Amino acid sequence: MNANLICPACGTQYPEDDVVWRCRCGSFLDLNDTFTCDPSRFRGPENLKRYASVLPLRNPSSAVTFGEGFTPLHPMVFYGIQVMAKMDFLLTTGSFKDRGAFLMINKCRELGIRSIVEDSSGNSACAIAAYCALAGIRAQIFMPAGNSSAKTVQVRTYGATLHKIPGNRSDCARAAEEAAGESYYAAHTRNPYFLHGTKTVIYEIMEQSRWEAPDYIFVPVGSGSQILGIWLGLQEMKRSGVIGRYPRLVAVQSEHCCPLKNNREGKQTPELPASPLLAEGIAIRIPPRMDQILEAVAQTDGDVVAVSDLDIVEALQASALQGVYIEPTSAAAVAAIKQYNGRLKQSDRVVVSLTGHGLKASARMETLINTA
Ligand SMILES: *Cc1c(COP(=O)(O)O)cnc(C)c1O
Ligand SMILES: [Zn+2]
């Protein structure tokens, strides 16, 4: 396959086998390929290799894998609304980030990269550290010092080198970028291969829905790696004539960090506090791919929603009372459905992405929820 990397800012192209992680102009890069979605080619094992025909891997059969994928699409009820919950917190490391890490780390493997640098609020670091362990690649992870200790412990236990950075998420990204130097900066916030991995979630949702597009998909959005993966997949399906219309993509953020909403209203997003937000996984003040996220929302006639911590806790409990234990970041997407109460039709098919496992945030939840 003749893939090329292309800079969305200045148009410069790079051959796919160049080990570059950013353009000379400083921008992140995208893949210049278009994949054809032909459902008859999705055969074989129910794991991510099933989608090899739409994945930018040269040698998918030799990709390393945990056999991941095909998380259930499970019926739940929130605020009296019937929704289908995509249970991505059931992936190997406990979040949807495994999809992106699967592809990005296998690409690193194909490119002969032996060492990577990543910065993360937690879950992407866990996913990348686990796939690096599987692939035999050295991982250096930069994390904000105040983050959930469960994620920190998980990352270190996988054998990654952990650098705890005082300050907030932005300080952390800066430190990682500086350290990347000659190594490969495998940032889920920018890396195009990561997005082609996360796009497998929409392929699964569509297969599980017999290729009938839902009306709404609620997604928690930080850097946008999941929503942009979904958007990539949907475009591939529409271009290939597999779907006739797009589901509305609803991008959900915390009201303490909502750059998408602020952007719409022409406002700046204030600096984040040093202590982590409740929805720590979506606390990204300036998502590098913000314009692309807003474009995905606009093109799908979607929406941008900010939710309160109170609503997040309520959503988390409503989920747990149905036996599904998710982390607060993940519950933010559920909380956004509340704002759609009365706006959804009975016939609307609603999907909510449950992105992260509750066990990772138990310590934090103990202080929030009266379990007595
Ligand atoms: C990372 C993360 C998100 C946000 O994903 P982005 O790709 O940064 O938009 C949402 N939920 C959980 C649990 C996460 O770990
Ligand atoms: Zn450029």
pTM confidence score? 0.95
On the question of a common fold for 73-94+193-371 and 97-190, the answer reads yes
Tell me how far the alpha carbon of residue 273 lies from the centroid of ligand 2, in angstroms: 32
How far is CA 357 from each of CA 59, 97, 151, 327, rounded to the nearest angstrom? 31, 11, 11, 5
Give the domain 73-94+193-371 fold. Rossmann fold (3.40.50)
Cα separation, 203 vs 220, whole angstroms: 18
Name all residues whose Cβ lies below 6 A of ligand 1.
95, 97, 123-124, 220-226, 281-282, 327, 329-330, 355-356
Phi-psi map region of 342: left, alpha, beta (phi>0 left; psi -120 to 50 alpha): left
pLDDT digits (tens, 9 = 90+) for 165-212: 887 777 888 888 888 876 788 988 899 999 999 999 999 999 999 999
Which range has the worst mean pLDDT, 89-93, 101-105, 264-268, 301-305? 264-268
Per-residue pLDDT at 362: 87
Name the nearest CA neighbour of 47 among 69, 73, 65. Answer: 69
CB 48 within 8 A of CB 193: no
Nearest ligand to residue 352 Cα: 1
Cα atoms in the 13 Å half-sphere on the side-chain side of 120: 27
Which tens digits make up the pLDDT trace of 142-154?
Answer: 987 876 678 889 9
Cα separation, 232 vs 356, in Å, equals: 21
Q: Domain segments of the chain: what residues? A: 1-34, 73-94+193-371, 97-190
* pLDDT band, residue 372 (cuts 50/70/90): very low
Q: Kindly identify the ligand whose nearest atom is closest to the C-alpha of 121.
A: 1
d(CA 335, CA 318): 10
Name the CATH code of domain 97-190 (choices 3.40.50.720, 3.40.50.1100, 3.30.470.10, 3.40.50.2300). Answer: 3.40.50.1100
- 142 forms beta bridges with 119, 163
How far does residue 25's CA lie from ligand 2's centre (Å)? 4
